[in-house]
Amino acid sequence: MVAARAPRSLALGAGAIGCLVFVAMPADSAGSPIVYGLVSLAALVALVAGVARIPGPARAPWWGVLGYVTCAFVGDLVYNVQVWVLQVEPSPGPSDVIFLAGYLFALYGLAVLIRRVQPGHSREGWIDTAILTVSAAAVIGTLVVQPTLAANQGGSVQLGIAVGYPLFDLLIFAGVARLLVGSGPVNSAVALVAAAFAVTLVADLLYSYIEVGGLGGSAPAWLDALYLVVFIMLALAAWRPSAASIRPKEDGGNQRYRLAGLTIGALLVPVMLVIAARADSELPARRIAMGTVIVVALVLWRFRLLLDVVEGQSARLAVLARTDALTGLPNRRTLDHELERLDVAGPLTTGPLTIAMLDLDRFKDYNDQHGHQAGDHALAHCTRAWRAALPPDATLARYGGEEFALLLPGHHHGDAAALLEAVRTATPAPHTVSIGYSQQRPGETAYDTLNRADRALYQAKANGRNRVETLA
């Protein structure tokens, strides 16, 4: 870990310095492309080294990332040769073909990451991705593609290249959205890749907007520096330990973030409709546009309230699934989980473990004589009395019927005897309880200890009931 952290820190520091130097240099300086090339070359070399250390089967998505950065580096090199050496118009030209080819590599890498992080076919995930992508298409089409088509003075090749960039950006956006839309968080390596492509999208769209005259003038140096940031982020991603262990997302992610993203996506189109309607002299168009925004916002608010209800119901159902409805004690499922947890933790963590089994004496006869409702009341009454006599770290669970299991972590055999005797005497009259218990032996599982406690319970029953017996 320390060996991997050193090159990452070095690359990050050198990259940050290189970006600052590049931004500080005059845009028309001959040294500006040299600094840019050196920083991007260093990031490319770091990326190659990072990919090389990833095991073979895990490299598949990183070939796409490496191809994208390589094409970007070569495209910049060709572009600068055209501008500074040959002094010819660089666009449209070979550099554009190389840049666009890099997007194909990026899409390949994103596709592989999506298959690994989001296996299967999630209809909900694709619908969410479609919502975000359609909204992004409206923005890109309005701000970039439409002005590009209107300003085109060249032939079909130049137009195809000019429109190709935003279209590829839209596909990259869809890939990033599908990668992030899901139930749980992605690991740090995937998060860095997604963030890097998101920065690429921002830089590309700003660049295209400037090119078609939206802001006027040439692209500022800080905008070119964003691409250097992208290269550095991708190199750092390949050096992350999690780069070699990209696994499917786990359930349980925060759906509120997902809803927030969908809210932004759903409102983008009507908001743009409002902006466009401002130029319309007809008041009905403005009213329709504003009404659309309000209705969509209200619908999303309603979904938000529904999400709160569903999350609350899920939490309550989770509690009910772990709890016995009559007594409020943990049920058999929770007991099994706790036994497994104790086995995983081991005696070095939990200390000695004593397990007891409790059984109300002649409970069937009481039920037959007084009815099941009285029997239920007796079970609830007895369990409340037992819990009051137990320490906070004890786990009392309903095992089945009138039988209960008691876990006493941190209690030796001798300590448990007095405690269980207090439980027996706390049993409300006219009921009595038989108890069998045993301390866990070295190398024995908690289930084995539970079985010995159960045999001790049968021994207590055979010896006259209303007593505490043990099998040491």
- Distance, CA of 30 to CA of 80 (rounded, Å): 10
Q: What is the spatial order of strands in the sheet that 353-360 belongs to?
A: 395-400, 403-409, 353-360, 433-439, 468-470
pLDDT for residue 2: 42
Cβ proximity of 148 and 111 under 8 Å: no
Any residues with CB less than 8 A from the CB of 146 and at least 6 apart, and which? none
- Which segments of 25-151 does DSSP mark as H helices, in order? 31-52, 60-80, 94-117, 123-140, 146-151
Instruction: Write down the pLDDT at residue 465.
Output: 92
Long-range contacts of 224-228 (CB under 8 A, 24+ apart): 224/22, 224/36, 225/19, 225/22, 225/23, 226/199, 226/200, 226/202, 227/40, 227/72, 227/200, 227/203, 228/15, 228/18, 228/19, 228/22, 228/36, 228/39, 228/40, 228/43
- CATH level 3 topology of 332-470: Alpha-Beta Plaits (3.30.70)
**CA count, 13 A, side-chain hemisphere, 217:** 6
pLDDT one digit per residue (tens) for the chain, 472 residues: 444 455 556 666 677 788 888 888 876 777 888 889 999 998 999 999 999 999 888 899 999 999 999 999 999 999 988 888 888 877 778 999 999 999 999 999 999 998 888 876 777 778 778 878 887 887 788 778 877 777 766 567 778 888 888 899 999 999 998 888 765 677 889 999 999 999 998 898 888 878 775 444 567 888 889 999 999 999 999 998 889 888 776 554 556 666 666 677 677 767 766 666 666 555 555 665 666 666 576 666 766 766 776 777 776 766 666 788 888 889 888 888 888 888 877 665 667 889 999 999 999 999 889 998 999 999 999 999 999 999 988 999 999 888 999 999 888 888 888 999 999 999 998 999 999 999 998 888 889 999 999 999 999 999 999 999 997 6
* Amino acid symbol at 238: A
3-state helix, strand, coil in the chain (%, to 5): 70, 5, 20
Residue 124's Cβ-count burial label (10 Å; 0-12, 13-18, 19+) is exposed
Question: What was the pLDDT predicted at 252?
Answer: 46
Strands 433-439 and 468-470: parallel
Q: What count of residues does the chain have? A: 472
Q: Tell me the whole-structure pTM to 2 decimals.
A: 0.61
Q: What are phi and psi of 444, to 5 degrees?
A: -95, 140
The pLDDT value given to residue 218: 64
